[in-house]
Structure 1
Amino acid sequence: MSDSKPLNTPISSRSSLSLHDGDTLPKPFLYRNIIGAHQYLVLTRLELAFGFNRVCKFMQSPTTTHWSTIKRILHYLRHISHHGLLIRPTYSLDISAFSNSDWDGCPDDHRSTTDYCIFLGDNLISWTSKKQQVITRTEFEYRALAHATPELI
């Protein structure tokens, strides 16, 4: 990976990985080891959370398509080692929150994902993303808001 070409994003937001994409990997332990070795990055690198969330779903039976996605994330990591989470001094104590939900986002179980991020001034101070336990269509936007509100308070 040392001579890999730079990539601007770790994974496409439109990627729809499924359990049945590609052929089964002959050595799935390599897939699991790479994910395990990089899990700590998700805590400090918000842009990696989405990609790692996607590939972690397939730890039990990874395929060649999932392996290609892991390699894309590694290409991205190789060329952003100088990036970090920027926290700037601010005099504003305004707290703002943004929430979102993705109805029927997973092609395997058709569950939605809700997420939010909270800012103090211009600084990101809290974020989360959670797959819902139930399949619902009418309340998915309200669920995202309901998860963000206690954190905001």
Structure 2
Amino acid sequence: MVRRLTVTFLFLYAVSVVAITVFPIRVRSAAYWAGEPWWTVFHWIPGDVDAPSFVLNVIMFIPLGILLPLLRPSLDAIGRLAGHAAAASSAIEVTQFMLGMTLGSRRTVDVNDLIANTAGALLGLLILRLAVPSRQHRAGYGAGSPPSPSPPG
């Protein structure tokens, strides 16, 4: 029951992230961007971002850092979770780039989004670890059954 609820939350979260990061798609003709090179959509300088945008990107990925380790205990490691969060964030950025190149929506591809999203997932893991300190208990919640007690000693 708990696992099914966690999977449902993860699905609803993923749909929400797609709704925020991909939609609306504004189709524009090539003439709209005439004279502006395609590479201007890339922002590669870390730290060159407004604080509210950065904070919102951190907040957006906190649920990922909570839900993934609950569903897959192997992701209850900083490096593994960071890799999955960076991959998910990269997928969003690539999608935005492809929509920009094919449909002219022209959303930016920003390294700061990647940094903020990964940081948000790690913050989510920290929150999960503070809320449920025992790794065994966290694994039990994701499995959908309560963890068995540890033998004394």
TM value normalised by structure 1:
0.23
Higher relative contact order (CA 8 A, sep 6+): 2
Structure (1 or 2) with the greater strand fraction: 1
User: Which is higher, the Rg of structure 1 or of structure 2?
Assistant: 2
Structure (1 or 2) with the greater helix fraction: 2
TM value normalised by structure 2:
0.23
